[in-house]
């Protein structure tokens, strides 16, 4: 991240196309490192820190999501403040780069503090044990069986992923990335084309993140009363219900009627409650059911499947680039959410593995 900031600053001075290419490449590496950091912290560290305390695990997941959502609300506002004050581009970059460096230092300090409190996170697990238990020997045998696929590790990772109990639920969650009825760039472009004022657009984006926070609160409150598999299905069903309002506004109300636009926005904003509650429930089910020795493989595979459907939804946006065809993208996204609901219903709610987990609690 620091290298990318330095390259951007040099580009603003020298205006070199080669530097611009290097910035794009470095940005890709930044995205990869961010994904690796998120997978290691959210899929492994939290589970290790919480141990067998399920309530503490749930609380940590909720707090991390809230920090993420608050940052997503603050960052656009800060960027808009600098860009809206008619500052020179160099000054804007210096300010944003300074904030990036500060955030990096804060993150480093926090990670160092966490590692000092929980040294098990930086230990080579299992290397210091002279005598191996039977479980450790079985784990090593599984690792040996997986080595035959080293030449196609990506395929091997997907094989391991689909062997997990949560695979159908995870696939359903990945399908949610195919939905364009969100606060993403495609819907934002459509709202601008429909004539929504920028001030109103900012309110809509902010409201989406606020209702995402409401989703984390709803998950925290309901996790004490209902099982995770129930929350998973109910949250997805709530998304289907909210997006039905958006679809009705898109298909059955004329485009020249302002009501259709606000029906679309209302359904999307409210659906964020179900989205983030579902995110937390699927995430915690994954943490509790995936074995430690394949936790990173499963987390990486889930991230790649999410990215595939995210890429697919942008590809569809290119194919149906005419804003008047936005209803086609809405129909595809709505169908993906319904399919996700059915997958979670079959693979999570009616799964014997998760019913047994409820009885163990």
Q: In the chain, what are the domain boundaries? A: 1-119, 161-361
**Is the pLDDT at 233 greater than 90, yes or no?**
yes
**Is the pLDDT at 63 greater than 60, yes or no?**
yes
The pTM of this model reads 0.78
Tell me the three state secondary structure of residue 58: helix
pLDDT at 290: 87
Distances 47 to 44, 60, 263 between C-alpha atoms, Å: 5, 9, 40
pLDDT at 9: 54
pLDDT at 1: 55
Rounded Cα–Cα distance for residues 285 and 57 (Å): 11
**Is the pLDDT at 42 greater than 80, yes or no?**
no
Rounded Cα–Cα distance for residues 87 and 12 (Å): 14
**Is the pLDDT at 80 greater than 70, yes or no?**
no
pLDDT at 57: 81
Count of CB atoms situated within 10 Å of the CB of 26: 17
Tell me the three state secondary structure of residue 295: helix
Question: Percent helix, strand and coil across the chain, each rounded to 5?
Answer: 85, 0, 15
- Which of 42-56, 163-177, 279-293 comes out lowest in average pLDDT? 42-56
**Is the pLDDT at 24 greater than 80, yes or no?**
no
Q: For residues 4 and 67, which has the higher predicted lDDT (pLDDT)?
A: 67
End-to-end Cα distance, the chain: 43
pLDDT at 281: 92
**Is the pLDDT at 146 greater than 90, yes or no?**
no
Tell me if 176 sits within 8 A of 337, measured CB to CB.
Answer: yes
pLDDT at 16: 58
Over residues 255-308, the pLDDT tens digits come to 677 888 899 999 999 999 999 999 999 988 988 888 878 888 888 889 889 989
Q: How confident is the model at residue 107 (pLDDT cuts 50, 70, 90)?
A: confident
HSE, side-chain direction, 13 A CA sphere, residue 133: 5
Q: For a pLDDT cut of 90, what percent of the chain falls above it?
A: 26
Rounded Cα–Cα distance for residues 315 and 313 (Å): 5
Give the max Cα distance, the chain: 74
Report the pLDDT averaged over residues 185-203. Answer: 85
Over residues 116-136, the pLDDT tens digits come to 777 777 664 444 443 444 444
Q: For residues 335 and 109, which has the higher predicted lDDT (pLDDT)?
A: 335
Its CATH architecture, for the domain 161-361, is: Up-down Bundle (1.20)
Rounded Cα–Cα distance for residues 243 and 56 (Å): 33
Q: Which residues lie below 8 Å from residue 177, measured CB to CB, with a gap of 6+?
A: 306, 307, 309, 310, 313
Backbone angles phi, psi at 160, to 5 degrees: -65, -40
Tell me if 239 sits within 8 A of 275, measured CB to CB.
Answer: yes
pLDDT at 87: 60
**Is the pLDDT at 356 greater than 90, yes or no?**
no
pLDDT at 148: 46
- Which of 96-105, 164-173, 210-219 comes out lowest in average pLDDT? 96-105
Q: How confident is the model at residue 153 (pLDDT cuts 50, 70, 90)?
A: low
Among candidates 293, 339, 350, which has minimal Cα distance to 163?
Answer: 293
**Is the pLDDT at 26 greater than 50, yes or no?**
yes
Q: Which residues lie below 8 Å from residue 232, measured CB to CB, with a gap of 6+?
A: 169, 278, 281, 282, 285, 344, 348, 349
Report the pLDDT averaged over residues 171-186. Answer: 91
Rounded Cα–Cα distance for residues 82 and 69 (Å): 21
Q: Write down the mean pLDDT value for the chain.
A: 79
């Amino acid at each position: 991240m620091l290298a990318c900031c330095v390259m951007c600053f040099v580009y603003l001075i020298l205006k070199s196309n080669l530097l611009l290419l290097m910035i794009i490449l470095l940005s890709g590496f930044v995205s990869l490192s961010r994904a690796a950091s998120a997978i290691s912290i959210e899929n492994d560290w939290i589970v290790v820190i919480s141990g067998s305390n399920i309530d503490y695990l749930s609380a940590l997941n909720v707090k991390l999501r809230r920090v993420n959502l608050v940052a997503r609300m603050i960052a656009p506002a800060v960027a808009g403040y600098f860009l809206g004050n008619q500052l020179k581009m160099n000054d804007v970059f210096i300010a944003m780069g300074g904030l990036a460096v500060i955030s990096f230092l804060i993150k480093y300090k926090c990670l160092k503090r966490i590692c000092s409190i929980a040294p098990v996170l930086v230990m080579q697990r299992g290397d210091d044990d002279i005598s191996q238990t039977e479980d450790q020997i079985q784990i090593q045998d599984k690792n040996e069986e997986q080595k035959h696929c080293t030449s196609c590790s990506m395929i091997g990772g997907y094989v391991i992923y689909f062997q997990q109990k949560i695979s159908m639920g995870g696939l359903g969650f990945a399908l949610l990335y195919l939905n364009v009825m969100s606060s993403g760039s495609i819907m934002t472009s459509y709202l601008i084309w429909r004539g929504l004022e920028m001030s109103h657009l900012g309110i809509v984006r902010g409201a989406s993140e606020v209702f995402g926070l409401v989703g984390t609160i709803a998950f925290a409150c309901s996790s004490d009363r209902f099982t995770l598999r129930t929350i998973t299905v109910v949250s997805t069903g709530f998304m289907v219900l909210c997006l039905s309002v958006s679809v009705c506004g898109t298909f059955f109300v004329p485009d020249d009627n302002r009501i259709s636009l606000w029906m679309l926005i209302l359904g999307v904003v409210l659906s964020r409650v179900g989205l983030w509650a579902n995110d937390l429930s699927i995430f915690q089910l994954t943490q509790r059911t995936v074995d430690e020795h394949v936790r990173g493989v499963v987390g990486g595979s889930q991230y790649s499947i999410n990215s595939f459907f995210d890429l697919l939804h942008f590809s569809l946006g290119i194919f149906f680039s005419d804003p008047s065809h936005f209803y086609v993208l809405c129909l595809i996204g709505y169908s993906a959410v319904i399919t996700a609901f059915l997958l979670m219903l079959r693979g999570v709610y009616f799964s014997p593995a998760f019913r047994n987990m409820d009885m163990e609690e």
